[in-house]
Amino acid sequence: MRNKVNILLIEEGSSIITLRVARCLGITSQYRIHILSLSRKQRPSFRYSRYVSSFCAYEAMDDEQSLKLILQTTRSTHAELIMPLMEKQTKIISGNLQAFNGICILPPLPEYYTLELVINKYDLSKWLLESGFSNTRPVTLRHLTEGESNPDNLTYPLLIKPFWGSSGEGIIRINEASQLRSIVEAGVSPAEILIQPYFAGHDLDLSALVKEGRIIVHTMQRPAVKNRKFKYSKKIEFTEDAGLFEFCEKIFKKLNYSGIAHLDFRHDPEKNTYHLVDFNARYWSTITGSMIAGINFPHLACQVARNVPIEPHLYKRIRFLSSESLFYILFNSFSLNRKSLHFLVNNELYYGLGDPIPMFFNFITLLRAKIEWHFLRGKRNLSR
């Protein structure tokens, strides 16, 4: 039996994504997985995964302390390869590459300043305009409060969103100028709030492993049903769009980007336009679906780090349900659309049966939270 590669995953409270990345690596039987969490605010389920050999958690106070903990844990676990899972940890490592020379190898990672650019929604919007990938000039709430822009001159509907964040957090749809004007007049803090057009069309995402501006492997996905919220859809289907692939190739090449990326677009088929609305320089919640479709992104990132040649990979056009809830899976599988039957086997629960303890832990945690919520609600009702 060949020796397994010691790998250290670095995360900070991203329990769901961490577990799914660990499973993608563990299923190959090629890695001994260690996990370092730079937060002790939660008790993560991934620590109970059969694929995880060791886990440690610290409450890092700043980036300097985080770097020391990463180096310390790399040595103590004898990690040959380290993999940051979220953007904050990626930035720490990208900004201190020399500290890892001779200690371990790294998967493709974006340069520090490139990472800072793409994860800041306002800076990214400016760059897209300046680089010819967009014709929309970004406006911020500060521009309105300081009189540089007028709500009456904007096109509605539009969205307001924080410069930072993911999974649709903090996004609000504004339908008319009076709504936006009331926000300005209410004295809402204008710091780091982007105003963005609401683009017509549908959601279309590209996931990719990129090295020096070249896409090595990719998948594309869209919601399997119309998504009325700004959060990612749990029901997805894998697809292909040559126009989007070409557009993303140009973006990555212009950035000279390296690393994992998940790009959220709005595609208007009538005008055949693509609008990049979010650039996630990290692993994503539906990564299990990508693996079942045929692209194991974490494993392939490790292969690139180890200079193993990557052959062209094709992926299947499957439907996938990102849920561990049996009731939710059954409810969405037996719908009027026969294609939804695919959800019975292409879901987190079915795949996770080979690693059941984290799912049981998540179930108990959710059940306890619901009991506590009902108990507190009952106490409030009695006190009235």
- List, for residues 45-98, the tens digit of each pLDDT value: 899 999 999 999 999 889 999 999 999 999 999 999 999 999 999 999 999 999
Residues 296 and 224 in one domain: yes
CA dist., res. 79 & res. 56, Å (int): 14
CATH of the domain at 269: 3.30.470.20
Residues 276 and 214 in one domain: yes
Asked if residue 26 has pLDDT above 50, the reply is: yes
Residues 225 and 345 in one domain: yes
How much is the mean pLDDT over the chain? Answer: 87
Query: Is 312 within the bounds of a domain?
Result: yes
CA dist., res. 33 & res. 18, Å (int): 11
Residues 75 and 191 in one domain: no
Parent domain of 326: 202-356
Residues 213 and 86 in one domain: no
210-220 pLDDT tens trace: 999 999 999 99
Q: How many domains is the chain built from? A: 3
Query: Is 170 within the bounds of a domain?
Result: yes
Residues 193 and 237 in one domain: no
Where are the strands (E) in the chain, listed by range? Answer: 5-11, 31-37, 52-57, 81-84, 139-140, 158-162, 172-174, 193-197, 202-211, 214-223, 235-239, 259-268, 273-280, 319-321
Residues 304 and 192 in one domain: no
Q: How confident is the model at residue 121 (pLDDT cuts 50, 70, 90)?
A: confident
Using DSSP, state whether 328 is helix, strand or coil: helix
Residues 150 and 82 in one domain: no
Among the three residues 160, 175, 197, which one is the final residue of a domain in this structure? 197
Asked if residue 280 has pLDDT above 90, the reply is: yes
Residues 311 and 175 in one domain: no
Query: Is 133 within the bounds of a domain?
Result: no
Residues 147 and 221 in one domain: no
Asked if residue 191 has pLDDT above 70, the reply is: no
Residues 183 and 244 in one domain: no
